[in-house]
Amino acid sequence: MAEILIHNLSKTYRASNGGLVNALEGIDLEVKDGEFVCLVGKSGCGKTTLLRIIAGLEQPSAGEVLIDKKLVGSPDPLVGVVFQEDRLFPWRTVRRNVELGLELRKIARNSRKKATETYLRLVGLEGFADALPHELSGGMKQRAAIARVLANEPGVILMDEPFGALDAQTRNQMQEELLEIWSKHFRTVLFVTHSVDEAVMLADRILVITPHPGHIQCEYRLTMPRPRERLSPELIEFRQNILADLNTDVHST
């Protein structure tokens, strides 16, 4: 596991007309070891940009990100990223997709095989190790993508709308499976979603990100045990309050 610390982070882009766009401003955030934190907000509020900066895929305009007290400046095997698209290589089998990171790190073949088998079993794909991605359903592809990240044993997992393209039933199932995996390994997770319903099912904390520029408006702490009942009065109240915050931002901009 690992801790994320973000200090006074901002990100400014140069627009096509030559002007400046403030995507993020004044982000201060601490994610503790083993914590599951969700970022919610409307499109364009900078959630994905923030995740990419934490992953070392983009550089901030100001401020800093530290993971385990180490300044982030480039991608690190300690940080795994699961995107909305599965990004599996279509010519590689599920097994070879999952072991890709280990292969790039020049891990010995026997160790790669053992790790791959472990995580394919963990996500329920041991029977599809030799299948190609086009032979899998959408949910199975995302399981393979998650297994590929887990196989590298990162301390931090960043997830950018990983279930956004799935149908509602599959999405709910994937949420349950993700929580089961997380409960066994307790890795630090930062999870971006547009779905307030998804956030209240998954998170220890929910951060509401508002745009123009993106900043953390408020925070919700959820202490209810998992698995959670979607229609419980407590979760319904959390949903209503978070949606009210998001709507307040809309009316005020």
Average confidence (pLDDT) over 190-205: 95
Q: Structure tokens of 242?
A: 């978070």
**pLDDT for 6:** 96
Sketch out the chain's domains with CATH numbers: 4-78+155-252 (3.40.50.300), 86-153 (no CATH)
Which tens digits make up the pLDDT trace of 22-41?
A: 889 999 999 999 999 999 98
Average pLDDT over residues 228-239: 93
pLDDT value at 251 more than 70:
no
Q: What is the mean pLDDT of the chain?
A: 90
Chain centre to alpha carbon of residue 12: 22
Residue 86, helix vs strand vs coil: coil
Residues 147-169, mean pLDDT to the nearest whole number: 90
Q: What is the pLDDT of residues 70-100, one digit of tens each?
A: 999 898 888 999 988 889 999 999 999 999 9
| Token pair recorded at residue 245 | 């915050």
**Model pLDDT for residues 49-58, shown as the tens digit of each residue:** 999 999 999 9
Instruction: Give the mean model confidence (pLDDT) for residues 64-68.
Output: 94
98-154: per-residue pLDDT in tens? Answer: 999 899 888 999 999 999 999 999 888 999 999 999 999 999 999 999 999 989 889
% of the chain with per-residue pLDDT over 90? 61
Asked if pLDDT for residue 253 goes beyond 70, the answer is no
pLDDT beyond 50 at 216: yes
Alpha-carbon distance 63 to 27, whole Å? 8
Q: Residue 100, Cα to own-chain centre: how many angstroms?
A: 20
What is this structure's pTM? Answer: 0.91
Work out the pLDDT band at 1, boundaries 50, 70, 90: low
Residue 12: is its pLDDT beyond 90? yes
Following DSSP, what letter does each residue of 29-69 receive, concatenated?
A: EEE-TT-EEEEE--TTSSHHHHHHHHTTSS--SEEEEEETT
pLDDT in tens, 177-187: 889 888 887 78
